[in-house]
């Protein structure tokens, strides 16, 4: 008996030679028992529906985060605020003293660059650590900005440099570390943010500096 089904995503080589059409595939299952045929068909449909749900859920999350970022960035341009994006370096290898970022970390860095592509980044600050520079690289290449390296222990100089170069409608990216991200936000806004978890690499703190001296901080997630 021949049981046909449709599902999201691609289907690999199968005996039934599936046909692909705009991300939707038609698959074929061959069995020898009618009950087995029906059960196999139902199981395949259920699995396909679950796959579709996971894909749509992930896409919906990305769209929500993307639009929220666009709204924040648009407000900066319209009302003359300056925006500072403070982020921890991407996922790294566990080796010391100065490890590279992992392939997953590279994916995170690329996602950060895509998220910030409408943010008018004119300055980028990193620490001396290789992992912070690698995290900033996709954004730096896109905006043709050379990152400024400041020792991670010299937080005072970093904050002074960030504040001194703020211009309305422009964005600044600061790539720091687990321990420095909350401190940087605190120094810039006077507001406390939740400490980062050990494996937390997807948090982006968006600090907005208003012309009247007030400030705000919003937390976004990226890389999903």
Residues 139 and 92 in one domain: yes
Mean of per-residue pLDDT scores for the chain: 79
Same domain, 113 and 40: no
126 lies in the same domain as 196? yes
pLDDT band (50, 70, 90) for residue 13: very low
Residue 165: pLDDT band (50, 70, 90) is very high
Last-in-domain residue among 79, 104, 128? 79
- Show Cβ contacts of residue 106 under 8 Å, excluding neighbours closer than 6 positions: 90, 134
| Domain endpoint, select from 28, 45, 79 | 79
CATH number at residue 180: 3.40.50.1240
pTM over 0.85: no
Q: Can you read off the two tokens belonging to residue 36?
A: 């087995």
47 and 93 inside one domain: no
Q: Given 48, 79, 110, which residue is the final one in a domain?
A: 79
Quick one: 134 and 209 in the same domain? yes
For position 212, what pLDDT does the model report?
Answer: 87
- The answer to whether residues 74 and 86 belong to one domain is no
Instruction: Count up the domains in the chain and report the number.
Output: 2
Instruction: Say yes or no: 5 and 73 in one domain.
Output: yes
State how far the Cα of 18 lies from the Cα of 27, in Å rounded to an integer.
Answer: 5
Q: Are residues 43 and 94 in the same domain?
A: no
- Say if residue 208 is in the same domain as residue 111: yes
Q: Which residues pair with 173 in a beta bridge?
A: 85, 124
118 and 178, same structural domain?
Answer: yes
pLDDT for 42 equals: 60
Task: Look at residue 60 in the predicted model and tell me its pLDDT.
Answer: 58
Q: Which domain holds residue 132?
A: 81-221
Q: Are residues 109 and 51 in the same domain?
A: no
pLDDT at 88: 98
Burial string for 114-126 (b: 16+ CB within 10 Å, else e) reads bbbeebbbbbbbb
Q: How confident is the model at residue 91 (pLDDT cuts 50, 70, 90)?
A: very high
Q: Are residues 164 and 75 in the same domain?
A: no
User: Each residue of 101-138: pLDDT tens digit?
Assistant: 999 999 999 999 999 999 999 999 999 999 999 999 99
Mean pLDDT of 50-79: 56
Burial degree of 197 (CB within 10 A; 0-12, 13-18, 19+): exposed
Stretch among 63-72, 111-120, 171-180 having the lowest mean pLDDT: 63-72
């Amino acid at each position: 008996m021949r049981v046909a089904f449709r599902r999201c995503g691609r289907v690999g080589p199968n005996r039934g030679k599936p046909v692909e059409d705009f991300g939707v595939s038609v698959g074929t299952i061959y069995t020898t028992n009618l009950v087995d045929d029906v059960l196999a068909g139902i199981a395949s449909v259920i699995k396909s529906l679950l796959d579709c749900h996971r894909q749509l859920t992930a896409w919906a999350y990305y769209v929500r985060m993307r639009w929220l970022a666009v709204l924040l960035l648009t407000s900066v341009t319209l009302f003359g605020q300056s925006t500072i994006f403070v982020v921890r370096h991407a996922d790294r290898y566990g080796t010391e003293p100065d490890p590279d970022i992992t392939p997953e970390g590279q994916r995170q860095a690329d996602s950060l660059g895509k998220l910030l592509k409408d943010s008018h980044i004119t300055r980028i600050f990193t620490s001396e650590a290789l992992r912070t520079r690698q995290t900033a690289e996709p954004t730096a290449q896109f905006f043709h900005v050379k990152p400024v390296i400041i020792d991670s222990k010299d937080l005072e100089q970093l904050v002074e440099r960030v504040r001194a170069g703020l211009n309305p409608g422009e964005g600044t990216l600061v790539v720091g570390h687990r321990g420095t991200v909350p401190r940087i936000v605190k120094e810039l806004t006077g507001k406390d943010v939740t400490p980062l978890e050990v494996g937390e690499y997807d948090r982006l703190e968006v600090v907005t500096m208003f012309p009247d001296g007030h400030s705000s901080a919003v937390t976004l997630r990226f890389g999903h």
